[in-house]
Amino acid sequence: DIVMTQSPDSLAVSLGERATINCKSSQSVFYSSNNKNYLAWYQQKPGQPPKLLISWASTRESGVPDRFSGSGSGTDFTLTISSLQAEDVAVYYCQQYHSPPPFTFGPGTKVDIK
């Protein structure tokens, strides 16, 4: 099974500053046949279900603010919030969905306001 790790476990960033979250997979989640990375990022606010922010490592979902961006390939990925807003306080998870299952999640990174 592919193991996902995230760093840091938590971070506190001032409003308007950049937040960077790293995600690493134990093996590559890149398919050369279609040139895609099978990696998603989710945001979970307290008391709410997760919300898909980014799929295929860098494709922002409809309605997601453009301050959120995803990058990386193979085994190393990054979620960047370019200018942190109060409403971005949440836990962020990466997930690999490279076949075959299980489609494992990272342990999560908690983002707070400094």
Partner 1 sequence: EVQLVESGGGLVQPGGSLRLSCAASGFTFSSSWMSWVRQAPRKGLEWVATIKQDGSVTYYVDSVKGRFSISRDNAKNSVYLQMSSLRAEDTAVYYCARTSSNNWAASPSYDWGQGTLVTVSS
Distance CA 77, CA 62 (A): 21
Asked if 107 interacts with partner 1 (CB under 8 A), we say yes
CB 53 within 8 A of CB 78: no
Asked if 51 interacts with partner 1 (CB under 8 A), we say yes
Q: Which is nearer to partner 1, 16 or 100 (CB)?
A: 100
String of contacts with partner 1 for each residue 6-45, x by CB under 8 A: --------------------------------x-x-x-x-
C-alpha to C-alpha distances, 104 to 45, 99, 112, 113, nearest whole angstrom: 20, 11, 24, 28
Asked if 108 interacts with partner 1 (CB under 8 A), we say yes
Spacing of C-alpha 92 from chain mean position: 6
Asked if 105 interacts with partner 1 (CB under 8 A), we say yes
Spacing of C-alpha 71 from chain mean position: 9
Asked if 106 interacts with partner 1 (CB under 8 A), we say yes
Interface ranges with partner 1 (CB under 8 A): 1, 38, 40, 42, 44, 48-52, 55, 61, 93, 95, 97-108
